[in-house]
A and B are shown apart, each in its own frame.
Chain A
Amino acid sequence: MATRTWQRPSKGWWDRPAGRWAIGITIVVYLVIALQAIDINFARIARGWARLFEVGVGTQTEVVGQKIGEILRGLGESLAMAVIATPLGILLAIPIGFGAAHNVSTKWVYYICRSITVLSRGFHEIVIAILLVKMVGFGPLAGVLTLAIATVGFYGKLFAEAIEESDGSVREAVQASGAGWLQQMVFGIIPQVKPRMIGLGLYRLDINVRESTVIGVVGAGGIGATLETTFDRYEYVASAVILALIIGLVFALEAGAGWIRRRYL
């Protein structure tokens, strides 16, 4: 008997050998052109390495002493901004997330809530911060609002996806008992997505702390403004201290988040 052969049926031109090669070659050609457009200067990179290490070995060490109060205040403000904005944003994002999950929402509510999350993610935090500084003035209030808005888009979208992936039969069982919509959510959906809710919240807090150290550059409060000033004045030792403190803060948060995850998830 002849040996039988088998081939996976192709799904279209992109799935056949010629199509695959065409796609692969196109990507490589594009990458080569793109790299040329960026105009990489290797000599500059080599010199830059040495410059990177100037940060931290500058001579203006006395600036750190003068500015340590301001630095710690700024860092505290950044942390406070993130800690306030994260739960505020999540609180707003939860109803929007339910609305943006097609399996528990209605068509119109779905489109409206999806649009809100897309709008919120449409702009980078820096852009939102610039607009809000115009609106409410310099300071941490603009920062808190910026981070809260960014949190709504991030959390709303991912929360909605978690709901859409949940086991529908559980909600169906609660529904079949005659429970109302809110009870169906609280008993049939939330217990299923709770670990994701906590995990996403901690992750967003982490992101917000990092963002809060940057949006100060455009006047939205936090350590960012101080960091920028030290760069501008070549006070690199102070810059290094700030960067080290930010890293320390992020590490501490990571440890805290890990502890919460082990305990509750």
Chain B
Amino acid sequence: MPILKITGLEKKYATGDLALRGVDLSIDAGEIVAIIGPSGAGKSSLIRCVNRLVEPTAGSIEIDGIDVVSLSGSQLREQRSRIGMIFQSFALVDRLSVMENVLCGALSRTGFWASWFRKFAEGDVDRALTLLEKVGLSDHVNKRADALSGGQRQRVGIARALLQKPLLLLADEPTASLDPKTSKEVMTILRELVTEEGLTTIVNLHDVPLAKACATRIVGLSAGKVVFDGPPSELTEAVWETIYGEPEMAG
């Protein structure tokens, strides 16, 4: 059974923009899927529909057999806690420490007053420290998040998402705000960690070579529709043209 099953997904924004025009996508456990496509193809809308940061207009999204489109209130929060998300702009809480940012990933299973007084469960604290070690930020645990560099900030974002112990990880252009070298480093760490945890991952990338290097499967999105779905090796010149509407730059 697939871990994520999207059927006939449509999204029309209040502005009238039709971002998704009937997307069908089925993802199995452990896959690392890169979604590529030009700006405005609907990549962001697609993954934001999965955790309902964006409300779908039509279609169904099933995660582990549960239809998330109809959920609300505490059921929606519970479902969201099972989906980790990494953001393009990092979306860290600047004035909080690195550790506090990572522990945000445990908020859903921590009571309000416990989180207010920063009394997180021992297991969560321990896992947070382990994750910070793995992303190479052990020396920055108590620094303020805004004191870190871009690459370090995204690594905090990765640790925060993984602390949720998610079933599914979504990454929305995780490297778009980073330079090429740092992008590669961040994607390498991300890939190592999700492989280690056997985590199903969907990552939006505009950098196609990076997508080919990191993903086990590529989905090409163009004008709100899936126009390619296959392993990185099948992403040929002709396919490139269907996705981007023009041939790959020579050289």
Contact = CB atoms under 8 A, between A and B. Distances in A.
Query: Do A and B actually bind?
Result: yes
A182 interface: yes
B53 A192 contact: no
Contacts of A170: 91-94
Nearest to B96: A191
A89 B77 CA distance: 33
A184 B34 CA distance: 29
Contact of B81 (A169, A173, A178): A178
A175 B80 contact: yes
Instruction: Please classify how large the interface on chain B is, using the bins under 10, 10 to 19, 20 to 34, 35 or more.
Output: 20 to 34
Contacts of B105: 177
Contacts of B92: 170, 173
A179 B95 contact: no
A185 to B, nearest CB: 10
Contact of B107 (A167, A169, A187, A192): A187
B107 A178 contact: yes
A186 B103 CA distance: 13
A179 B161 CA distance: 13
Contact of A179 (B83, B84, B107, B116): B107
A102 interface: no
Given A169-B87, A180-B77, A180-B112, A174 B104 contact: yes
A175 B102 CA distance: 14
B130 interface: no
A107 to B, nearest CB: 15
A187 B93 contact: yes
B164 interface: yes
A183 B95 contact: no
Interface string B111-132: 0100110000000000000000
Interface string B78-92: 111111110101011
B77 A179 contact: yes
Contact of B83 (A167, A176, A180, A192): A176
Contact of A191 (B85, B94, B108, B157): B94
A210 interface: no
A182 B51 CA distance: 19
A194 interface: yes
Interface in B42-84: 51, 53, 77-84
A132 to B, nearest CB: 34
Interface in A115-139: none
B160 interface: yes
A172 interface: yes
A188 interface: yes
Given A183-B115, A191-B93, A175 B53 contact: yes
A177 B104 contact: yes
Nearest to A168: B91
A135 B157 CA distance: 55
A182 B114 CA distance: 12
Contacts of A174: 93, 104, 107
A194 B108 CA distance: 23
Contacts of A187: 93, 96, 100, 104, 107, 115
A129 to B, nearest CB: 37
B164 A177 contact: yes
A172 B157 CA distance: 13
B153 to A, nearest CB: 12
27 contacts: A169-B87, A169-B91, A170-B92, A172-B53, A174-B93, A176-B85, A177-B84, A177-B85, A177-B107, A177-B161, A178-B82, A178-B108, A178-B164, A179-B107, A180-B108, A182-B112, A183-B112, A187-B93, A187-B96, A187-B100, A187-B107, A191-B95, A191-B96, A192-B93, A192-B94, A192-B95, A194-B95
Closest 4 CB pairs of A and B: A178-B81, A178-B108, A173-B91, A179-B107
Given A176-B85, A187-B100, 13 more contacts: A169-B91, A170-B94, A172-B53, A173-B87, A173-B160, A177-B84, A177-B105, A177-B164, A178-B107, A183-B107, A187-B93, A187-B107, A192-B94
